[in-house]
A = this chain, B = another copy of it.
Amino acid sequence: MEKLAVVALGGNALLRDNEKGTIEEQEIHTAETLENLMFLINAGYDLIVTHGNGPQVGNILMRNDAGMQLYGITPMPLDICVADTQGGIGYMIERIFRNILNKHGIKRNVITIVGMVEVDPGDEAFKNPTKRIGMYYTEEQAQNLSKEKGWIFKLSKQGEKGWRRVVPSPTPKAIFNLEVIKSLARQGNIIITCGGGGIPVYYDENKDVRTVDAVIDKDLASSVLANGVEANEFYILTDVPFIFKDYGLPTQEKLEFLDYKDTVKYLEAGTFAEGSMAPKIVAALSFIKSGGEKSIITEASKLEDKSYGSKITMEYGV
């Protein structure tokens, strides 16, 4: 059997902060990123691709607000907005991937599957919403929305930009349609799913699927997916070529080959930046702990050169 890889595309792989976010820009970055995945395709890997949706869902939330203000159009809740981005971004990746494969003369099918992810309604995260989403509001607007919709707000990190809604970021427990995704990927289809960390839902006491206003960390959801489908390798693509110890400090050190125990130690020592690299490391470690062979964290543009990237295994050398 061929090796199976799950590749989580970071925001940078699709869209850059210093750009306007036009579809043309997104298509160019997506094509570059997918071109870099060809080394996996050429090596015969089965492949599942996940992706972020931060800027896209942020834009949809702001358009929701603007549509209500200007035209009185009822806004959609967060779960629908995330699902929207899975459709739009998934389709864009699928179409471009088909063209990259065509350019290389490779016949592989690409399928985009809408991805729900189960969370635990008792997750501690629901008591302490931390994930900032959507637009900045004035204090008055935030108070009104809080009364009207029960939303919770926090002052933006910089303070001066205003208030932002915060939602819980619960731990992903299970991926819907997991067996179908695995089986299709194992038949050689390239699967795109779980965009934006998946649409968070939970089962109530009647086993009905219920929605919840929350967002799931994309890398954590991808890690659960990767373990669920018994992937061999789990790639987290981000905007740095390697993991660094003490990034930005005089003691900065490139970490290329890591084993599980050392990485846990570094993580516990606070070596990795909270809110950026640390959650990726947690996702990578979780994949290894649950039986995965290798987690790779690197920059999409460097993927083609196999020597690049930080590789975490249970015991390095495996």
Contact = CB atoms under 8 A, between A and B. Distances in A.
Copy tally for this chain in the complex stands at 2
Interface in A17-50: 20-23
A180 to B, nearest CB: 6
Interface in A94-111: 94-95, 98-99, 102-103, 109, 111
In this complex, the member of A65, A79, A86, A135 whose beta carbon has the largest number of chain B beta carbons within 10 angstroms is: A86
Contacts of A209: 95, 98-99, 102
Given A21-B74, A83-B87, A88-B84, A111 B113 contact: yes
Interface stretch (A141-149, A162-170, A199-207, A230-238): A199-207
Interface in A247-279: none
A22 B62 CA distance: 17
A7 B81 CA distance: 25
Contacts of A114: 87, 90-91, 94, 112-114
Contacts of A177: 109, 111
Contact of A180 (B69, B81, B109, B211): B109
**Residue among A62, A80, A92 facing the most chain B CB atoms (10 A cut-off):** A80
A77 B23 contact: yes
Contacts of A94: 114, 116
B116 A113 contact: no
Contacts of A84: 60, 84-85, 87-88
A181 to B, nearest CB: 9
A63 interface: yes
Nearest to A97: B209
A74 B116 contact: no
Contact of A91 (B22, B64, B135, B199): B199
Contacts of A62: 67, 71, 73
B116 A88 contact: no
Residue among A64, A73, A92, A135 facing the most chain B CB atoms (10 A cut-off):
A73
Given A63-B67, A102-B206, A83 B73 contact: no
A2 interface: no
B109 A112 contact: no
B66 A91 contact: no
A83 B184 CA distance: 21
A59 interface: yes
A95 B201 contact: yes
Given A59-B73, A80-B91, 14 more contacts: A20-B74, A59-B74, A66-B66, A76-B88, A83-B91, A83-B92, A85-B87, A86-B87, A87-B90, A90-B114, A94-B114, A98-B208, A102-B208, A111-B180
11 contacts: A62-B67, A63-B66, A66-B73, A83-B90, A85-B87, A86-B91, A87-B87, A95-B209, A95-B211, A102-B209, A113-B113
List the 6 shortest-distance A-B pairs measured between CB atoms, nearest first: A87-B87, A63-B67, A83-B91, A66-B66, A112-B114, A63-B63
